[in-house]
Structure 1
Amino acid sequence: MRYIVVFTLFAIPVAKGFASIREAANYLERTYDDPDLSPIGLYDALGAVVISDQQDNCILTDMDECKVSRLAQLYIERIA
């Protein structure tokens, strides 16, 4: 698991890991279609960086990189 998708589920922050960026980006894109989910961002665990440019239809304009990074790192610690 290299890519971490960070989103909210019923306003509760959640993170989920994926092996490929394509899977992660697709999952993040699907959060736009679900009224109970809200996308926050995408994190590259290997490079320890937040990925800010998404697909054209999945741009996160108000993404808080510190929040994405912190939540993704907490997720990684929890599953390790």
Structure 2
Amino acid sequence: MRYIVVFAQQEIGYAVGFDDSSDAADFLYWGYEEYDLVPYGTFDVLTGEVWPYEHRGERVAELDEPGIRKIALDYLKSAIRQRT
């Protein structure tokens, strides 16, 4: 898992990991289009970069990069704990 997407559903924040950046982007796009998810952005585990999500060129949520990073890292820590 290299990319972690951060989103909200019914005002609760979630994160999900992907190996491929295009899968991560597709998840956020279709989640917003079809499933009423509020996409915040993507965190790259390898580089530490954050990309706030833009839907058709406009941001749909106001969570800043440090917030996206925190949720993603919390998810990563939880995933590591579950594997050990």
Q: Where on the TM-score scale, by shorter chain, does this alignment land: which range?
A: 0.7 to 0.9
TM-score normalized with structure 2 length: 0.81
Once the two structures are superposed, what CA deviation does each residue of 1:20-75 show, in whole Å capped at 9, x if it has no partner? 0000000011121122x111111101101102476x72643644101100000000
Tell me which amino acid in the other structure corresponds to 1:49: E
Kept in 1, the 8 Å contact 2:4–2:43? The answer is: yes
1:38 to 2:38 alignment: yes
Provide the secondary structure at the position in 2 that maps to 1:47.
Answer: coil
Per the alignment, residue 49 of structure 1 pairs with 49
Per the alignment, residue 60 of structure 1 pairs with 59
CA RMSD of aligned residues (A): 1.9
- Identity, in percent, stands at 32
Q: Distance in 2 between matches of 1:51 and 1:59?
A: 13
* 1:53 to 1:78, Cα distance in 2 relative to 1, 3 A: closer
Gaps of 5+ in 2: none
The structure with the greater share of residues assigned to helix is 2
Gaps of 5+ in 1: none
Tell me which amino acid in the other structure corresponds to 1:70: K
Q: Distance in 2 between matches of 1:71 and 1:18?
A: 15
Return the index of the structure with the highest Cα Rg. 2
Per the alignment, residue 26 of structure 2 pairs with 26
